[in-house]
Amino acid sequence: MWMMKAIMGFLRLPGIRLKLKGCIYRTLATLSVSFLVAMGAASASSTGDSSGELFFPSDDPVAELEQTRQSARANDRLVLVIMGANWCHDSRALASRIYQQPLRPIIESHYETLFVDVGYLDQGSEVIKALGPPVYYATPTVLIVDPVSGNLVNADNRHQWGSADTISMEDSVAYFRLMASAGPGALENKAAEGQELRKLLNEIDAFEQTQALRLYAAYRVIGPMLRAYKEGNPPDGFDDYWNEVRVFRLQVPMDVDELRREARNRTAAGEQNIQLNYPQYAAFSWETSQ
């Protein structure tokens, strides 16, 4: 572990970091993690381990995404995009875990991995737009992409990793093994979903997009406050604001996932002209005070 700290400390020196582009910086950090794992660091805890600090700014994250997708196509793998931040313990926990046994060989065999830094909730939107889902709701958010069709393999459960630190290694292995079983190209044809289900899923996507716009607006409010908090200067009212947004961004994904399950179950049962009941959410405190 001392070697990792030495490497990461060297990479964070101002003179060094300024000379390194985002993709090079990320590559060096990843290589240092792989080296440590090979030396026996795989037994390290998933929390408090600096090897999970793999989220760094990029000059062109969309270009990195396309490179990752091309590599995945060439190697018959899926694209694994992990959106998170080094200040987030759940992000670090997941980033560290994928380099640990027994998960590491599954990731290396079936996925091309890209870490996307979301900054203080003010970065990453260009990657989200390139991939298609409305927004990331938590740090981290896991997006598994079919490089052939561009479809999300884990569209119905991509939000569950917001509490990654509490997810066991056993459950992590089961999840990524299940997602890998689809394989590239498996989701290319959506015609089998049927017209009624496709209509409902489009409605749910539109609902989620509306909530995403609210969340982006909330990020613009609490993002600067979060930065100040992490720098040791917590603004007045930050805890209350943060908890409001946290509750919202955790509740919406659960509601959206439940809506999708309901749509699939009811259409599978043969129902037609289905009307779903969409939840409503209270205004944020700063919205009502304006």
Residues 7 and 140 in one domain: yes
Global pTM?
0.74
Residues 172 and 211 in one domain: no
- Which carries the bigger pLDDT value, residue 16 or residue 74? 74
Residue 185's pLDDT is what? Answer: 52
* pLDDT tens per residue, range 69-114: 999 999 999 999 999 999 999 999 999 999 999 999 999 999 999 9
Of 180, 208, 233, the position where a domain reaches its end is 180
Cβ contacts of 241 within 8 Å, gap of 6 or more: 221, 222, 225, 284, 285, 286
For residue 173, the enclosing domain spans: 2-180
Q: Do residues 34 and 171 both lie within one domain? A: yes
Cα separation, 147 vs 125, whole angstroms: 20
**Do 99 and 152 have their domain in common?**
yes
The CATH number that applies at residue 93 is 3.40.30.10
Count of structural domains within the chain:
2
Tell me which amino acid residue 107 is: I
- Whether 176 and 196 share a structural domain: no
So what's the pLDDT on residue 134? Answer: 66
Copy the structure tokens of residue 90: 């759940």
Look-up of token digits 């910086």:
25
Task: Say which residue the tokens 């987030």 belong to.
Answer: 88
Question: Are 71 and 146 part of one and the same domain?
Answer: yes
Helix (H) or strand (E) holding 83: strand 78-84
